[in-house]
Every structure is written in C-alpha cells, then in structure tokens.
Amino acid sequence: MKFNTSLLKDNDYISLIKTTWDENIRNYVVPDDQSKRSQKTFLVSDLLFFETLEMGTRGKTISYPSFKKHQARKEKESLTIKIKDLKKRMESDASEDLNEKLAEKYQNLNYIRSENGKGTILRSKIKM
C-alpha cells in the first residue's frame, strides 16, 4: 500500500498522529518516567513499543482519508441545501445580506469542488 503524502500537509492529520503517539507513550512508559527527557523507559521491549506505535499510526492513516472524504461530502450536501434555500428566499426578498450569504456559500462549494478536482487530476497523471 502506498502512503498518501498529501496527508503530511494536513494539520488535522498531523495532530491526530501526534495524539496517537502521545497516547501510546502514556500507555507504555514506566509510571515514574513521565519526564520530558528524550530517553524514556517502557514497560515493554522497544521493538514491541515501536510495533504498537506503528500499528496505531497505520490504523489512523488508513481510516483518516475516508473520514475526510465523508466529511467533505456532508459539507458539500449541506452547502447545496443552503444554496437552494437562499435562492428561494431571494425570490421574495433580494436583500444585499442574502446575496452576500449566497456568494459565500457558492465560494465554499467551489473550493470543495476544486479540491476534488485536484485529486482527480493527480490520480489521472499517475495512471498515465
């Protein structure tokens, strides 16, 4: 399986991995050794600790893109519904405030679409 290097630019992913590592360290570090020093003593062998760290990282890395895709899909659907609602409201009241809100929603929707397009373009370049 190939690693999606674009995840390294995603601050949410980086935060998730750091949290996973911190949890793993807290679970396996010797209770008296909670210091900030670089050399820690673990309850298990270094190899077992590394393997559990790697397993946790791999699990989060595999599930994270699906989570982000689902989140983006929900946001896209929500924006589409809000745009339809704003268009209906503008038929009876074409105020500047509604017009600005509509423009903002369109801008957000276009951003999501452009991000999807970037991924499609990248995948098509790889297949060539």
Structure tokens at 104: 């903002």
The confidence score (pLDDT) of residue 78 equals: 93
What's the pLDDT score for residue 74?
A: 94
Model pLDDT, residue 30: 81
Q: 81 pLDDT exceeds 60?
A: yes
What pLDDT was estimated at residue 54?
94
In the beta sheet, which residues pair with residue 42? 29
pLDDT at 120 over 80: no
pTM above 0.95, yes or no: no
DSSP sequence for the chain: ----GGGGG-HHHHHHHHHHHHHHHHHHB-TT--SS-S---BSS-HHHHHHHHHHHHHHHHHHHHHHHHHHHHHHHHHHHHHHHHHHHHHHH---HHHHHHHHHHHHHHHHHHHHHHHHHHHHHHHH-
Mean pLDDT check: name the lowest of 39-43, 55-59, 107-111: 39-43
pLDDT at 115 (0 to 100)? 79
pLDDT surpasses 80 at 85 = yes
Is the predicted pLDDT of residue 106 greater than 70, yes or no? yes
